[in-house]
């Protein structure tokens, strides 16, 4: 796996809706910019060898970094794969939509739900939103949120950005009733 760079972003929200958020709401994102393992090879029928070679290593690389950056217990999480213009969306999906990648995060966060995801093909500098959901109950509305990410110089045409996001809480000042009140 050829990693060009790793970017870490930590957001702390201290005020929302004109009111203090205490403690501050924390969200962390760690993104690795890697060479597309299938780039330049034309259409690749069998993606499994590339998945086997890279997906688990990406999970091992990113999970400890996003947990360390959050510096709090993970309550919500998500993932992203942004593929450069010379690749296919399927290339990013292949790396993040496998237990070889996601189980690293689930185990570290004691999570049981699927990791919500965004994946798309785009040029360098694209803005993308990583959706987050609660780690054990995807119906908990307070934890349905997203974090916006932009890497000014990535992905290059033959690269993929693989990112993980973690939040220490739900949305600041959340006030929606439980989903069970509507059932």
Q: Do 129 and 118 form a contact (C-beta atoms < 8 A)? A: yes
Alpha helices in 37-114 (DSSP H): 48-70, 89-96, 99-109
Q: Lowest-pLDDT range, 24-28, 34-38, 173-177?
A: 173-177
Residue 176 is predicted with a pLDDT of 82
Q: Which CATH number covers residue 69?
A: 3.30.1330.110
Q: Is the pLDDT assigned to residue 41 strictly greater than 80? A: no
Task: Provide the pLDDT for residue 65.
Answer: 98
Domain count, the chain: 1
In sequence order, which residues have a C-beta less than 8 Å from that of residue 53 and are 6 or more positions away? 1, 37
Which residue range forms the structural domain that includes residue 74? 3-182
pTM, entire model: 0.95
pLDDT reading at 1 higher than 80: yes
**The predicted structure's pLDDT at residue 5:** 98
Structure confidence by residue, pLDDT tens digits, 125-152: 999 999 999 999 998 999 999 999 999 9
Residue 3: which region, alpha, beta or left (left: phi > 0; alpha: psi -120 to 50)? beta
The dihedrals phi and psi of 2, each to the nearest 5 degrees, come to -100, 105
pLDDT over 90 percentage in the chain: 91
Quick one: pLDDT at residue 178?
A: 74
DSSP string, 162-178: EEEEEESSSSTT--PPP
């Amino acid at each position: 796996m050829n990693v060009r760079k790793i970017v870490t972003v930590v957001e702390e929200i201290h005020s929302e809706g004109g009111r203090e958020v205490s403690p501050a709401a924390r969200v962390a994102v760690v993104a690795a910019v890697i060479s597309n393992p299938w780039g330049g090879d034309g259409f690749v029928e069998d993606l499994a060898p590339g998945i086997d070679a890279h997906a688990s290593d990406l999970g091992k690389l990113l999970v400890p970094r996003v947990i360390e950056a959050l510096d709090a217990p993970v309550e919500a999480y998500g993932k992203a794969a942004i593929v450069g213009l010379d690749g296919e969306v399927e290339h990013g999906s292949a790396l993040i939509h496998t237990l070889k990648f996601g189980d690293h995060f689930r185990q570290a966060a004691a999570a049981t739900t699927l990791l919500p995801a965004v994946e798309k093909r785009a040029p360098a500098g694209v803005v993308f939103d990583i959706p987050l959901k609660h780690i054990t109950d995807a119906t908990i509305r307070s934890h349905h949120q997203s974090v916006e990410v932009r890497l000014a110089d990535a992905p290059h045409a033959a690269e993929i950005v693989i990112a993980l996001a973690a939040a220490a809480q739900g949305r600041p000042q959340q006030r929606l009733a439980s989903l069970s009140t509507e059932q």
